[in-house]
Structure 1
Amino acid sequence: MVMDSHPSDTVTILRVRGPLEFRCQLDSTDALIIQKVISRTFETLRSKVKSESCVLTICDSPVIIWPNKSGNAPCEDLHQWIQTYEQESKRSSKKKNKKSSAVNVINLHLMMDMTTRGPASAPILSRTAQNSHFLSTTLPMDCVVRTSYSDTTKKACEHLVEALTHQLCEMEKVTLDHMKGTTLLVPEPLHFLLPEPKGLVTVVYPAGVPDSQLETQRRELHQRFELPEDKPYFRRANAYHFPNEPFKDGYLRNPHQVLTHPTLDNGKVYLVQGIYSYHHYMQDRMDDNGWGCAYRSLQTICSWFQQQGYVERSVPTHKDIQQALVDVGDKQSSFVGSRQWIGSIEVQAVLNQLLGVTSKIMFVSQGLELASKGRELANHFLTEGSPIMIGGGVLAHTILGVAWSETTGQIRYLILDPHYTGAEDLQVVTDKGWCGWKGPEFWDQTAYYNLCLPQRPKVI
């Protein structure tokens, strides 16, 4: 396990990834002998990582580093090498160069130098007839360490080698703990960003073993890092997403984070906790313009529960949502495939049916009353932290937070609007107000509203 500080503008995260080939021959079925052979193989890999054969290349650059014989150049040189290469190869503009200078994550690739040293000799072949079992797999190494401009490359490389060696020890432990006969489960390293000051932590899990069977390990981690045991921190869905990596599904994540908070007299800001995906009209090759806003708000809520690790199922489609309402007896079978609207009560029913999530419903007889709900909304984001679906008339929106002053009663709502029909363009979404802070006048003052406030399960 590797622990590091929170990535920030003042530090650089060095992330090393790459395959290490794990190969060993088992000439016995005795469990103790198998364990010794596997341990020896891991020890050989640790020796290779500490040897001069270990090579690191900086991704997207021609820079090559031998970490076990590196010099004392400052880490600032790494940034300069990368920037110089980007300028020469991409001929980027001054504006782009300026942006690329604030590098927070430097990705490195782990390799092994296969060049032979010493006098050449002819190979010697021998043949032995015996029954044995050959194990072969690839270990997906993935280590992170923190460094700063003032550190030397030698010190940074020492930390990287130490992290790689330690990760191999963790992989050995996981491999032996989950070994069944001669079947080997590949150890899988994952990074988790914990509350300050704990920062970035790396945990090795056995690939293929579901989260439901790893509760004991997670409970030990919660105790070790003194974390509460009523919310997940170490499920696979909680794994840290590095800022320089795009999300494979294409949805925008947390667009509200680029917005400036409103300033209110003695006001405080209460926000959604964690990560969600922005779901809106016309996504997923589904033309739901004019009728699907509550479905999209529900999808955003479901994405939050998925990405916080509370559930493992994927975000439901419109058809999944409609079928769930039929299954609970709320709708007739003809509802599936229709373009009928749903509201907050249906959202509550679907969350319970598909995710096992309960919700509170807040009834507001007039939009005018929403301005007085600051305390209830603030308390929801403090204690539950989930997005809220609000429906009124023919419109549905998602509330991601409130700015509220207990002394003056002033309030602003952070709204994620599912009625957007454009591309996944963060600048358009935020500049045009599809995700933005709204005042009480945003609501129809005379219309009634129902708010669905999902409650997070108390699980580890």
Structure 2
Amino acid sequence: MVFSEECAIIFRLKGILEFACQLDNPNAGSQSQSTISKVFQGLRSKVSSKNIVFTVCNSPILIWPNIGFRSSMESLTEASACGDILQYIESDDGGSKKTLKKKDKKRSVHTVVNLKLLFEVTDPAGNEAPSLIRVDTQQHYVKMPLPLDCVLSVTTDESLASVCTRLVETLRKQLAEMEEAVQRYRKGSSFVVPQPFHFQLPAPAGLTTVIYPAGVPDSQLQAIREDLHRKFELPSDRPYLRRANAFHFPDAAYKDGYLRNPHIHLNPPNIEDAKLYLVQGVYSYHHYMQDRVDDNGWGCAYRSLQTICSWFQQQGYVETAVPTHTQIQQALVDVGDKEPRFVGSRQWIGSIEVQVVLNQLLGVTSKILFVSQGSELATKGRELANHFQTEGTPVMIGGGVLAHTILGVAWSENSGQIRFLILDPHYTGEEDLQTITDKGWCGWKGPEFWDQNAYYNLCLPQRPKTI
């Protein structure tokens, strides 16, 4: 499932199926495997039955996909384009999605249609008398929820009947993959809950779902990831399939309150023959006055460092939280770079300290690019372009009393013209995306942005070679 300009709708179907089985002897491998397989076969038959119903969230629509296609809306028929469903879905503000959002000039907008998996209650039982069977042997009864979560990315003109048929097929496939995970990680009567995660992989793989066992850390799943990297022909030196790399759906809010990737809402600068070299992946925007810390006037480098740390966290390289100012200061004390009284102070830090903290807290090495005066930054297009093309990490730049984060460059190899994509940690306002982009707190800056006579140090974090 690969996104393209025409691939504008993501159908996401979620629901819970209950797995329940009775094992005579959990340690009898083949017998237990057979019992588990029969339960999963029953669940696959259930999603193929006429009783399955899809309900479209925030709408009055019910769909019976396995009865030759039937809908609660007379206007939605087997031949209807799936894009027609959008007019019946209410937006969060109570309005109606009359039309599909067009791909704007700033970024692709994919509409998500959320569905829930339901089943019709069958007719009441007849008058047959119940039967009882007494079993004297000890048995183990296993019961757990299976959190189904299927995605399908389609073009707007694909028929609704086809989409629903494919969703049922995806449900069956996901149950088969869950069975494989349950069998692989089961130990006697101890079961793990299989959890689906979605990943946006490079073409041609596209949006792909992987089942991981709940409670098993990423560090114990490396062999599984290695197999998947080979299957999808992914590079073996960077993570694509850790839980932190999971696809973030456009309609889902981030719970921590930080803005992600505000730069994607900007138009590129107009430079003839220029190419864009940008940060790769997801980061959080950290700036003055966040987290109830008044660091206005002294904490810009700390905030730039936090943005860099968030990048390594959200790309799956580390599982540690973004460090606080105090933790950053303590790390510098621990390595002997600062005296103990530095902790709790309002002293500035620079690019060298950022390099030290990244190594101490994250195990990340960095290169330092020294620039004797700001006017020389206009000549560093090749070095910065190479960094963003190969490493793709945010760059911290410090000079004088100011620190900024560089997220990319627009650079013409022929003319040497350059613009810098700057994320400014000196912002003190709320998490207002429009203000941040309109007022230039995240924006493209020319070489004149830098103090032409001040020296600058750039910290260029390097990606660890790992999956």
Aligned partner (choices 307, 319, 322) of residue 312 of structure 1: 319
Q: Secondary structure at the match of 1:305?
A: helix
Distance 1:120 1:92 in 2: 50
Q: Where does residue 440 of structure 1 map in the other structure? A: 447
2:260 maps to which residue? Answer: 253
Distance in 1 (alpha carbons) for counterparts of 2:380 and 2:93: 52
Equivalent residue in structure 1 for 2:88, among 76, 84, 88: 84
Instruction: Give yes or no for contact 1:390–1:452 (8 Å, CA) kept in 2.
Output: yes
In the alignment, is the contact (CA less than 8 A) between 2:15 and 2:116 conserved in 1?
A: yes
Distance of 2:438 and 2:316 partners within structure 1: 31
Confirm or deny that 1:277 pairs with 2:284.
yes
Q: Give the Å deviation of 1:308.
A: 1.1
**3-state SS, counterpart of residue 117 of structure 2:** strand
- Name structure 2 gaps, 5 residues minimum: 71-76, 103-108
Q: What is the CA-CA distance between 1:145 and the residue it aligns to?
A: 1.6
1:5 to 2, 13, 17: 2
Matches within 5 A, 1:83-162: 83-86=87-90, 92=95, 97=98, 104-116=111-123, 119=126, 121=128, 123-124=130-131, 128-162=135-169
Amino acid at match of 1:24: C
Please say which of residues 340-349 and 118-127 is displaced more in the overlay.
118-127
- Describe the superposition over 1:388-432 as per-residue Cα deviations: whole angstroms up to 9, x where unpaired: 000111110000001111121111000000011111111111001
Q: State the 1:270 CA deviation.
A: 0.6
**Deviations along 1:12-59, whole A, 9 cap, x unmatched?**
221111111111111223222221111111111111011112121111
One-letter amino acid of the structure 2 residue matched with residue 111 of structure 1: L
Tell whether the 8 Å contact from 2:86 to 2:98 is kept in structure 1 after alignment.
Answer: no
What is the distance in 2 between the residues matched to 1:225 and 1:290?
48
Residue 224 of structure 2 aligns with an amino acid whose one-letter code is: Q
Amino acid at match of 1:183: S
Please provide the CA RMSD for this pair. 2.0
Q: Corresponding residue for 1:16?
A: 13
TM-aligned CA deviation for residue 235 of structure 1: 0.8
Deviation at 1:442, TM superposition (A): 0.5
What does residue 106 of structure 2 align with?
Answer: none
The alpha carbon displacement at 1:85 in A equals 5.0
1:335 aligns with: 342
Match of 1:35 in 2: 33
Shift of 1:266: 1.7
Question: Counterparts of 2:362 and 2:120 in 1: how far apart (Å)?
Answer: 49
TM-score w.r.t. the length of structure 2 is 0.92
The SS at the match of 1:139 is: strand
Which of 290, 296, 302 does residue 297 from structure 2 map onto? Answer: 290
**Alignment partners' CA distance in 1, 2:78 and 2:285:** 44
Q: Partner residue of 2:64?
A: 66
Match of 1:54 in 2: 52
Deviates more, 1:151-160 or 1:183-192: 151-160
Distance 2:100 2:147 in 1: 31
Identity %: 62
Shifted more, 245-254 versus 429-438: the winner is 245-254
Write out aligned runs for 1:212-231 (5 A): 212-231=219-238
Counterpart residue identity of residue 92, structure 1: G
- How many equivalent residue pairs? 453
Q: 1:407 aligns with which of 404, 414, 421?
A: 414
8 Å Cα contact 1:74-1:151 kept in structure 2: no
Shift of 1:11: 3.2
2:175 is paired with a residue whose SS is helix
8 Å contact kept, 1:9–1:104: no
TM-score (norm 1): 0.94
CA contact 1:56–1:111 (8 Å) conserved in 2: yes
Q: Work out the CA distance in 2 between the residues paired with 1:364 and 1:319.
A: 29
- Cα distance in 1 for partners of 2:58, 2:127 equals 35
Q: Once the 2 structures are TM-superposed, how far is the Cα of residue 119 of structure 1 from its aligned partner?
A: 3.9
Label 1:9 to 1:299 Cα distance change in 2 as closer, same or farther (>3 A).
Answer: farther
Per-residue deviation, residues 197-224 of structure 1 (Å, max 9, x unmatched): 3211111111111111111111111111
Q: Which moved more, 1:121-130 or 1:438-447?
A: 121-130
User: What is the distance in 2 between the residues matched to 1:290 and 1:73?
Assistant: 62
Cα 1:74–1:298 shift into 2, 3 Å:
farther
Cα deviation, residue 244, structure 1: 0.9
Residue 22 of structure 2 corresponds to residue 25 of structure 1: yes
Mean alpha-carbon deviation: is it higher for 433-442 or for 10-19? 10-19
2-structure distance, mates of 1:275, 1:91: 30
SS in 2 for 1:35: helix
1:452 maps to a residue whose letter is C
